[in-house]
Amino acid sequence: GAGVSQSPRYKVAKRGQDVALRCDPISGHVSLFWYQQALGQGPEFLTYFQNEAQLDKSGLPSDRFFAERPEGSVSTLKIQRTQQEDSAVYLCASSHRLNTEAFFGQGTRLTVV
Amino acid sequence: GQQLNQSPQSMFIQEGEDVSMNCTSSSIFNTWLWYKQDPGEGPVLLIALYKAGELTSNGRLTAQFGITRKDSFLNISASIPSDVGIYFCAGRRDSNYQLIWGAGTKLIIKP
């Protein structure tokens, strides 16, 4: 596709369940970002990849959050033992290279019940 | 987490009116960006500003990078119904690729 694609669009998880959120960046984009957006707030940085290397994971809120991009393309954000406070929209963005502006996907809305 | 101070939080305007919103920070940024987010969608970049004092237009939208590097402004002239949505400012320091975001300004056009 032409844009950043995220799946699923919506996910409802029971508390304690593990979830995996997928991001397909724009083809050829080197940089990939994950953001968390709580209701009524702006996005907050979670982690950054350059190709397959995770260069910054300082925004991940706990060790229950894990992200990977093994082949430098598709990325997965995994949340283990989900909690209610994990409910948010998770946005993925990609850019051609660092310091060029990124394009965002539509996001995955996670609701933990 | 850290966020920029964005105001107003929401605006109720008549179609055809001009709109102004701003974003401030206690620290310096080297890039200011303005995004629009529609319900169920990701943010879409409207205007990017890279130099203090810079004034940039995109159609009816005009944004300025404050001379102090601690603020930015977005103006929308002659608003139309499709301008409805949430507008976000975001700042970046060159030494850090992370974007710091405001909490958004929700624009509502009164019928």
pLDDT at A1: 55
C-alpha dist (Å) from residue A18 to A21, A67, B109: 10, 13, 41
Q: How far apart are the C-alpha atoms of A38 and B89, rounded to whole Å? A: 16
Q: Which amino acid is at B64?
A: Q
Q: How far apart are the C-alpha atoms of B9 and A99, rounded to whole Å? A: 29
User: End-to-end CA distance of chain B, in Å?
Assistant: 36
Cα A29 to chain centroid distance, Å, stands at: 15
Chain B nearest C-alpha distance from A86 (Å): 14
- For chain B, say whether A48 makes contact (Cβ under 8 Å): yes
> CB-CB: which of B40, B41, B103 is closest to A42?
B103
Chain B nearest C-alpha distance from A18 (Å): 23
Q: Left, alpha or beta for B78 (phi > 0: left; psi -120 to 50: alpha)?
A: left
> CB-CB: which of B1, B33, B44 is closest to A44?
B1
Residue B25, exposed/middle/buried by CB under 10 A (0-12, 13-18, 19+)? Answer: buried
Chain B nearest C-alpha distance from A74 (Å): 18
For chain A, which residues score pLDDT lower than 70?
1, 99
Residues of A in contact with B93 (CB under 8 A): none
Phi, psi of A97 (to 5 degrees): -155, 170
**Subunit contact A99:B99, Cβ cutoff 8 A:** no
pLDDT at B95: 63
Q: Which amino acid is at A7?
A: S
pLDDT in tens, chain B (111 residues): 667 999 999 999 999 999 999 999 999 999 999 999 999 999 999 999 999 999 999 999 999 999 999 999 999 999 999 999 999 999 998 766 889 999 999 999 987
Residue that the structure tokens 């949505």 belong to: B85
**Subunit contact B99:A41, Cβ cutoff 8 A:** no
